[in-house]
Amino acid sequence: MPKASPLLPVILCGGTGTRLWPLSRASYPKQYWALAHNAEDTLLQLTQRRLNGLPGLGSPILICNEDHRFIVAEQMRQLGVEPESILLEPMGRNTAPAVCVAALRATARGEDPLLLVLAADHVIREPEKFRATVEAGIPAAEAGRLVTFGIVPTAPETGYGYIESAEALNAAAPVPIARFVEKPDRATAEQFLASGRFTWNSGMFLFRASAMLAELERLAPELVSCCRSALEHDTPDLQFLRLDREAFAQCPSVALDVAVMERTPLGSVLPLDAGWSDVGSWSALWETADQDENGNVLRGRVISEGSRNCYLRSEHRLVVGLGVENLVVVETDDAVLIAERSQAQNVKAIVQQLEADGSSEGKAHRRIYRPWGHYTSIVEGSRWQVKRISVKPGASLSLQMHHHRAEHWVVVRGTALVEKNGVEELIGENQSTYIPLGAQHRLSNPGKIPVEMIEIQSGAYLGEDDIVRLEDVYGRSTAVSRA
């Protein structure tokens, strides 16, 4: 009996999830939040965790925006998972280039594994059924078929693409694909459900790396050429591989479905019935979560009296719902969403308006995550601002200086090691230090608990680009975001 091929997950971590604003934002999208019902893991972590138990499972290849690289690495570290690689896209180019780069990477050492391509932001409530379905698709993928997983529809949804099978669907083995259909109207969707041959297009795939590369070479040779160049000229950056910007920018921005799956004779579909959701809106989260006796889903510091069929979520402050119905209420540190549940998916237009206005709430939270920890903007004036900084044990900010601002640091928890113009000192709780304008300085945490510190900035200009990095253990360049 031939030896089974290793199974490598390829987890696509792109996307901003704007329909889940104000929680999901460009700086910290939905895949990095814990959104699934009663789960402490993030959607990305759940995506990796549900693979445990699959035969021949190897280390994952993760593909993400370079701005999110430390978030991805930290969330994998929390699971005890060491990725095969974390590939950094300099810009989004849709799923076909991402999958192509992953397949090239997977075959670089002469191996030809099976690739299980997954989105990082899906919820699957029955992971054991998911694993059984993946296993059912392995023989076909081993034989060279390009398998996609079609979600067994539960309603005539008009917001999803559909896949029609060429013959009766079979849960035990994939069947050939007849066609892909983009978001139909309701009457057409009802006909699709009645036929029994249509499933929702999930964007999840299983195939041998060489089989997909061969079809990409045949159907999209320019894309393969650009991806190969981007990978050949990549730049190692700690545990990351930074794809070459110029080469990757030449890649056509195209989905894998359009580039290959709609055109290949090798496509097969396997029905998946495992409690799937793409978590595309707050109303979708309400629908997939366990509701209380009044139809409510309550998250965080929430009190509900006489409310029905609501999704109420608090990240910081107390949220109270009194006698309200069919609402979505989501509170964050700098914004509150209140919407009719049926209108919640239209929040994307609000995000576009915020971005057009240049409002910070459209892109980032007050809490900004960095490889060394995070900082939170508390209050600011015309020439001053106050931030709360948390530095992880053993972590260190870059050695840096500022041209336009001075800083006062007050430690409120832990012990900080402060380097200032080449002189080091330990600062304990309730102690402070002053960083004059132009001083070379660095903050480190030599202890075993996080350092919590209040920073008061003052000066003519307080922007995050007023940073000159002189040394950085994370390999970051000068004048990009906060240290």
Answer yes or no: do 198 and 327 share one domain.
Answer: no
Question: 259: helix, coil or strand?
Answer: helix
Domain encompassing residue 318: 282-347
Instruction: Flag whether 355 is in a domain.
Output: no
256 & 338 share domain = no
In this structure, the answer to whether residues 239 and 179 fall within a common structural domain is: yes
Domain count, the chain: 3
Residue 278, sorted as left (phi over 0), alpha (psi -120 to 50) or beta, turns out to be alpha
Domain annotation covers residue 309: yes
217/240 same-domain check = yes
439: enclosing H helix or E strand: none
Final residue of a structural domain among 277, 296, 327: 277
Answer yes or no: do 139 and 228 share one domain.
yes
Q: Which of 229, 259, 277 is the last residue of a domain?
A: 277
Q: Are residues 319 and 440 in the same domain?
A: no
Considering the domain boundaries, does residue 478 fall inside one?
Answer: no
In this structure, the answer to whether residues 77 and 202 fall within a common structural domain is yes
User: Is residue 421 a contact partner of residue 441, using CB atoms and an 8 Å limit?
Assistant: yes
pLDDT for 478 equals 54
pLDDT of residue 481: 41
Asked whether residue 483 is domain-assigned, the answer is no
Q: What three-state secondary structure class fits 351?
A: helix
Q: Are residues 233 and 178 both part of a single domain?
A: yes
Q: What is the mean pLDDT of each run of 10 residues along the chain (483 residues)?
A: 78 90 92 84 96 95 92 93 94 94 93 96 94 97 96 91 93 93 92 92 96 97 95 84 93 95 96 92 90 95 97 96 97 95 91 92 87 90 93 94 95 96 95 95 96 95 86 69 43
| Same-domain status, 183 and 112 | yes
Residues 353-385 have pLDDT tens digits of 999 999 989 988 888 888 899 999 988 888 999
Domain CATH for 70: 3.90.550.10
Domain boundary among 315, 347, 379: 347
Residues 75 and 204 in one domain: yes
For residue 61, what are the β-bridge partners? 10, 85
Render pLDDT for 166-219 as a digit per residue (tens, 0 to 9).
Answer: 999 988 899 999 999 999 999 999 999 999 999 999 999 999 999 999 999 999
Closest CA to 11 of 58, 56, 78, 53: 58
**Given the DSSP bridges, would you call strands 336-340 and 367-370 parallel, antiparallel or unpaired?**
unpaired
Cα 346 to Cα 175: distance, rounded to the nearest angstrom = 36
Task: Note whether 179 and 311 are same-domain residues.
Answer: no
CA–CA gap between residue 62 and residue 84 (Å, rounded): 8
